[in-house]
Structure 1
Amino acid sequence: MNPAKLSVLFCAAVSAFVCLCIYLLSKAKKPVARGWSFDCARCGDYPDELCSALFDGKAVAAVLGAQCEQVHRERPGFGAGLPVNCSRLLADHSYITKPLSQEEADFPLAYILVVHKNLQTLEWLFRAIYMPQNVYCIHVDQKAPAGFRQAVEGLAACFDNVFLASRTESVVYGGFSRLQADLNCMQDLVLSSVPWKYALNLCGQDYPLKSNRELVQLLKQRWKDKNITPGILQPDHIKQRTTHVHREYISPAESYVVKTETRKAGGVPHGLKLYFGSAYYAVTREFVDFVLKDERAKDLLQWSRDTYSPDEHYWVTLNRISDAPGADPSAEWEGSVRSIKWLDQATVAHNGCKGHYVRNICVYGLGDLEWLVQRDSLFANKFEVDNRPLVAQCMERWLRRKTLSQSEVPIPQEWHIKNNKCFFDIEGNDCSTTSM
């Protein structure tokens, strides 16, 4: 075939593709299949059929969903600093207010949330993990805007089992301050009257892939008083994090950690072998007591102050000490605490990011939903509700349906996720709501 004919065929193919895209988008507010009708202008009105199609990986659903997300992305969320109407919050956002089973009531969990931005995303995560028998410590970064902190305080004030950390840090990504923030919450949690069994730490852009009951059963039956701190002996390419002195720098414009040319003096305290692993964990209450009181834990903490990302060696190293409560000295990467799509693992460990990358971590898009619900991890990271509202809506519906299906108590109507609701209105503005 000569070049002229090839050019004509290529142009025709491109034109056909463009026309198809225009046609699909033009149908975004019209029925495209029996029972499907989308009006993207309505407040938070995402049909279950669309979410189901996204979970099934249907391409047309992603096209329609992207159109709806663009409409809702332009809608402002609630303003930081405005007073929270607690009764409206609980009613409109379908908070579960009683334990769903005796098994869960007898096995309360403690959560540590380290947050600094994205109020909508935080509240979306919080209502997903909230159960009245659990206890929650929220650490708000000292650098966070005053309005953000006030709004989080207002959220916490609506619940007897939620509080802000009594001591806060200016958290720097990769710095010691991130580790210290967790420890500050641990110090508060051990004083709580809630008899929690495990502590789990989260950041504000996580979301659970397990219901509360699934978490409880996993920790009781599979881990049986063992800690989950995935990791391995420190690889060679990571050792510079702990062989050289690192410094945190904080300015109004940015915060960062710098590696210096100075080598750290002395070895690791008590001859401990350093491990490298996840900064996120599920650890027993007895292990938390060990972390706060044992001299080896205290000395390792002090030694780690000028290392890079010490939370990626601290928990995993302590959990390999044979006499630490719940320790597993021979553990490696067992226990999938987080599902993350790292940029350098695309096409190797996952099918690529369908949203966008931030610091080499995927912010999930519509095309990632099918992958997410197939994961066996406890949580996934990372989400941005303001930029990806349909992702948030579908994940919330999927998790709540699973959670309520496992309940052993009668389910009030208000625990069901509501349709046609203003997704992020917690100030008390009226909004039409009907349960799904």
Structure 2
Amino acid sequence: MSKLKSSKTRGVIVTLMRSTNRSVFLTINMIHSVMRFHSTRPNTSYPFLIFHDHNFTSQMKQHILSCTTKYYKQINISFLLINFTTSVRPTNTSQLDKSMGYRLMCRFWTYDVFYHPAVRDGGYEYLMRMDDDSYFADLSRRSILTSLCTCTVIWFIISQSKSWPKSPTKLDQFLTSSLCGRLIRYPNTVLNPGELEQLENEALKYLSYPKDCRFFKRGSTPSMEELTYPLAFTIMIYSNLDQFEFLLQTIYRKSNYYCIHVDLKAPIALYQTIQERVACVTNIFLPKQRVNVTWGQFSVLEAEHLCQKELLQQGKSWKYYFNLANSDIPLKTNTELIQILKLYNNQNDVTSLPYRSQLRQKSSLGLSNRTLPPSIKLPFYKGEFHVLLTREAIDFIHMNERAKDLYNFLNGTIVPDEHYYSMINRWKETPSYFSQDHDLSQISFMTRYKIWADRPERALCRGGFTRTICVFNHEDLWHLATSPHLFANKIFFQRDRSVAYCMGQYLDVRDRMRSEEKFSMINEDFYRRLNNVAFGKRR
């Protein structure tokens, strides 16, 4: 027993179920039998991954959860869609008595399951297959029968309840009845010319916003959760007003605070339009000064500093700060952002890695003819400009003398915005700091989903690359929609506006369902296990 208690073995129980009432019932019985078996072995209580096809409804999911979590509060069950379609047809020499469904099931258990992200990225050492009609036999037959009979009674009550929803949810309807839903549900979906034209027409209509103050009608009634947990955003823009309107329309809530820096070289008409938008509400601000922003130069930091000062002055209660580009696309609703950020242990999310080459570090910082201020020491660290920072961290940046020394030193260096936050977030005096390496990874840095051309995930990109960064299009929706990240970069309306349209629709449906049915798609355990979040809990 002592060896069992000290074991760090991590396993997962995997089920492939049919979208039928019988399979739901069998799956419930199977889960009960497993939990009964593991109740005497608490150190081997593994999570469940339940794979299902596109006919699986939220009602079926709720039945399973209601019948299991009632008795096992700590049970961890995840539901995952698997696409059982193929263009491959059996050869003449194949055993024709085996159906295509059976063949795909065999492929799933012998290959697909081991390469699914939920299994591959879970860090599991063992995988146990449990079919829906399988179960563990406890030593006490009476205990099993009691468990199964109790579950049967619960199942009967749920099934016969007149108050229980009998029709698919709004999310089910969206995913099964729209082109956007099909693109989100199925990888590698290819639309025919007629469908592409229909999608483009739908996108144009959806993205045609009112030119007056009705633009902000959508975010005018925040929930109590939003009122008590306001967020702050900076948006930097120099062109593409249509993209800006989509981004602002999607993230705007009356409870939040926004600062918009319009590049000094932006067209006058664009600046005037944004001024008119800002005049409609009291929680969007333009900095009193504007700068000519040039990529890779100090002006990037300068523009953001202006907005940060404005946000600190205008709002005293906001909790977290996001810096957004006009090419970003939200992947979470405002309430989902709040739900996730409440799990973050008040931690920042900033990428930070050391230089591999001392020569390159010296060249980037211009150290051949400049000296560091006494408060700043080598090594320097580099990372993404996109960050998630607590209000306390933003306040520190503008008040701390060491942070001011770094800010002033970086004026005149190469790409200073990629050093600034990556350095400051390493310092132990920085509120919510993280002193370890933090990479732009698909499973660690959650603030931004970005695919680089030199990364393994480059094969996912369907929209092509610009400056080695993937520009997402509608064929990328399936992995955008399932990503745990908060925002993605980047999109260009000139290439494909339907990716914004579909993602906007998807967020709209989730937002309505959360307010009406207390619906949530957030896997809270995933965010709790993030390195920087766990670090904040230990600190």
Cα distance per residue 1:11-37 (max 9 Å; x no partner):
xxxxxxxxxxxxxxxxxxxxxxxxxxx
Cα distance per residue 1:239-276 (max 9 Å; x no partner):
2553338xxxxxxxxxxxxxxxxx34113652434111
- 1:78-93 aligned within 5 A: 84-87=211-214, 89-90=215-216
Matched residue pairs, number? Answer: 336
The reply to whether residue 61 of structure 1 matches residue 183 of structure 2 is no
Cα distance per residue 1:75-117 (max 9 Å; x no partner):
9x989xxx94113x245xxx221113x2221110000111111
| Residue range with higher mean Cα deviation, 63-72 or 371-380 | 63-72
Unaligned runs of at least 5 residues, structure 2 = 1-174, 519-539
The DSSP-based 3-state class of the residue aligned with 2:411 is: helix
Match of 2:354 in 1: 233
- Distance across 2 between alignment mates of 1:405 and 1:363: 30
Residue number among 493, 496, 514 corresponding to 1:385 in the alignment: 493
The structure whose Rg is larger is 2
Match of 2:476 in 1: 368
| Aligned partners of 1:112 and 1:185 also within 8 Å | yes
Cα distance per residue 1:365-413 (max 9 Å; x no partner):
1211112112111100111234312212111101111122222699xxx
The two structures, once aligned, show a CA RMSD in angstroms of 2.7
Give the Å deviation of 1:64.
4.5
The reply to whether residue 335 of structure 1 matches residue 335 of structure 2 is no
The reply to whether residue 405 of structure 1 matches residue 522 of structure 2 is no
| Aligned partners of 1:65 and 1:366 also within 8 Å | no
- Distance across 2 between alignment mates of 1:74 and 1:228: 35
| Aligned partners of 2:301 and 2:416 also within 8 Å | yes
Unaligned runs of at least 5 residues, structure 1 = 1-45, 246-262, 411-436
Residue type at the aligned position of 2:258: Y
- Distance across 2 between alignment mates of 1:299 and 1:53: 52
Match of 2:371 in 1: 266
Give the Å deviation of 1:198.
1.0
- Distance across 2 between alignment mates of 1:132 and 1:362: 32
Residue number among 456, 459, 464 corresponding to 1:356 in the alignment: 464
Cα distance, 1:278–1:62 mapped onto 2, change above 3 Å: farther
The reply to whether residue 189 of structure 1 matches residue 311 of structure 2 is yes
TM-score by length of 2: 0.58
Cα distance per residue 1:21-65 (max 9 Å; x no partner):
xxxxxxxxxxxxxxxxxxxxxxxxx99511111112353436554
Match of 2:340 in 1: 218
The DSSP-based 3-state class of the residue aligned with 1:125 is: helix
Cα distance, 1:204–1:71 mapped onto 2, change above 3 Å: same
Match of 1:205 in 2: 327
Give the Å deviation of 1:72.
8.0
> Larger relative contact order (C-alpha < 8 A, sep ≥ 6)?
1
Match of 1:344 in 2: 454
- Distance across 1 between alignment mates of 2:398 and 2:274: 27
Residue type at the aligned position of 1:225: N
- Distance across 2 between alignment mates of 1:167 and 1:409: 45
Cα distance, 1:165–1:266 mapped onto 2, change above 3 Å: same
Give the Å deviation of 1:204.
0.6
Identity of aligned residues (%): 31
| Aligned partners of 1:235 and 1:276 also within 8 Å | no
- 1:155-194 aligned within 5 A: 155-194=277-316
TM-score by length of 1: 0.71
- Distance across 1 between alignment mates of 2:341 and 2:234: 17
- Distance across 1 between alignment mates of 2:447 and 2:244: 19
| Aligned partners of 1:176 and 1:310 also within 8 Å | yes
Give the Å deviation of 1:185.
0.4
Displacement over 6 Å in runs of 4+: 70-75
Residue number among 268, 276, 283 corresponding to 1:154 in the alignment: 276
The reply to whether residue 307 of structure 1 matches residue 437 of structure 2 is no
Match of 1:97 in 2: 220
- Distance across 1 between alignment mates of 2:363 and 2:487: 27
| Aligned partners of 1:121 and 1:386 also within 8 Å | no
Give the Å deviation of 1:141.
0.3
Residue number among 311, 316, 321 corresponding to 2:427 in the alignment: 321
